[in-house]
Amino acid sequence: MERATKNVRLGLTLPIGGAQDAVAQARAAQACGYEEIWLAEVGGGDAYAIAGALAVGAPGMRIGTAVVPAQTRTPMVHAMAALSLSQLTGGNFILGIGLSSPNIVRDWGGQPYDQPLTRLREHIEVLRKMLAGERVDFEGKTLRVKRFRLGGSPIGEVPLYLGALNEHSLRLTGELCDGVILNMVPESSLPQILGAVRAGAEAAGRDPGQIEVIARLHVVLTDDAAMGRGLVRNVFGAYAATPGYNRCFEWIGFAEQAQQIRACFAKGDRNGVAAAVTDDLCDAMAVIGDAETVRKRVRAYAEQGIDVCVINPIADPTSAKRVVETFAGCLNGLDLRQSGVVRATATRPS
């Protein structure tokens, strides 16, 4: 079953700068036609706290997390946050979780990073039960819950989305989740990536057309592409050395760069890691260029299967406003009848 005809939507990653400006930024984006706000979480602001402020300060926008690490909170804490945000947004909140990386979860957070796919599967299973109002008794390989029941009801069902990069996690998304959140992957790889989501859904007897596809697009608006790529290397180069992203880049066609990055990182050669983040890999990780170039690439993502293109301005906060205004309306006129998973795999080369 396909979804009804709908426009591909435009979202924005917030906050840009500190949390104190997030509500004003959301209102300005809403006035420009952005429909959604998606909140990442690494080591700065708390995504759930900022989402609460946005729910009250910028009503009417859909709010999601893209993503909150699953392992840095217990399922009980995730479920309580999702309950509150569902109520505050009138049922317009999406819970997006992901594996994150060993340095964030294990080194910073002091939590185990073993059996990552099992942990994700068990988090999803437990969260579904909690958010459905069930009394949860669960004894898994990585999680244990005894006699917990959520003290309230969300407004409708809280959708669960998964930040996924590699074939196994993408298949898991298709099997269990309502949406997939993509990050730092080029539009040319979407048939391969969304093909894995589709395969997971079909193996589980689910309709892949019901799985929403979100892509965070890191945008560097510049007339100097070399400068823009240098900025991406500085901001995101280290991500290419983390296990999840490194395996992803190797899988989608950047095997030589991924292997070199991995080898240099193992030796502590940070200059070697940076050198291995080639121009092509920078262009895969981010959308870099002048306004026309970036608009074309954002539309290409939509045409290849993305349901929500989420702009993340990579610049200082004073110039981010120009990025937001420049790309407002860049998806106008795109009205694609099939869901992202169906659209992208339909054009996959044989």
CB atoms within 10 A of CB 337: 11
pLDDT value at position 316?
72
> Measuring CA to CA, which residue among 106, 6, 19, 110 is closest to residue 317?
19
* DSSP, residue by residue, 246-294: HHHHHHTT-HHHHHHHHHHHHTT-HHHHHHHS-HHHHHHHSEEESHHHH
Is 227 within a domain? no
Residue 69 CB partners (closer than 8 Å, separation 6+): 41, 97, 98, 99, 100, 104, 105, 109
Contact 120, 99 (CB under 8 A): yes
Is 261 within a domain? no
- 151-168 burial by CB neighbour count: b if 16+ within 10 A, else e? eeebeeebbbbbbbbbbe
- Does the pLDDT at position 145 exceed 60? yes
Contact 329, 30 (CB under 8 A): no
Q: How far apart are CA 264 and CA 274, in angstroms?
A: 9
pLDDT digits (tens, 9 = 90+) for 325-338: 998 988 887 766 55
- 273-291 burial by CB neighbour count: b if 16+ within 10 A, else e? bbebbbeebbbbbbbbbee
Q: What is the CA radius of gyration of the chain?
A: 19
Q: How far apart are CA 106 and CA 98, in angstroms?
A: 14
pLDDT digits (tens, 9 = 90+) for 43-56: 999 999 999 999 99
Task: Please state the pTM of the whole predicted model.
Answer: 0.94
Q: How far apart are CA 35 and CA 137, in angstroms?
A: 38
Q: Residue 340: pLDDT band by 50, 70, 90 thresholds?
A: low
pLDDT digits (tens, 9 = 90+) for 243-254: 999 999 999 999
Q: What is the CATH number of the domain that holds 84?
A: 3.20.20.30
Q: How far apart are CA 53 and CA 350, in angstroms?
A: 47
Q: How far apart are CA 34 and CA 323, in angstroms?
A: 12
Where is 335: in which H helix or E strand?
strand 335-336
Q: Residue 286: pLDDT band by 50, 70, 90 thresholds?
A: very high
Contact 262, 254 (CB under 8 A): no
Q: How far apart are CA 183 and CA 215, in angstroms?
A: 6
Is 254 within a domain? no
Is 294 within a domain? no
pLDDT value at position 319?
79
66, amino acid identity? A
What angle (nearest 5°) sits at the alpha carbon of residue 215, between those of residues 71 and 110?
15
Q: Give how far the C-alpha of residue 299 lies from the chain's centroid of Cα atoms, to the nearest Å.
A: 18
More confident residue, 156 or 3: 156
Range of the structural domain that residue 192 is part of:
6-213
How many structural domains is the chain composed of?
Answer: 1
pLDDT value at position 342?
59
Q: Residue 315: pLDDT band by 50, 70, 90 thresholds?
A: confident
Is 318 within a domain? no
Phi/psi at 10 (nearest 5 deg)? -115, 130
Is 331 within a domain? no
Residue 276 CB partners (closer than 8 Å, separation 6+): 240, 257, 260, 261, 264
* DSSP, residue by residue, 15-71: -SS-GGGHHHHHHHHHHHT--EEEE--SSSS-HHHHHHHHHHHSTTSEEEES-EEGG
> Measuring CA to CA, which residue among 326, 214, 229 is closest to residue 284?
229
Is 343 within a domain? no
Is 20 within a domain? yes
Q: Give how far the C-alpha of residue 189 lies from the chain's centroid of Cα atoms, to the nearest Å.
A: 16
pLDDT digits (tens, 9 = 90+) for 7-50: 799 999 999 989 999 999 999 999 999 999 999 999 999 999 99
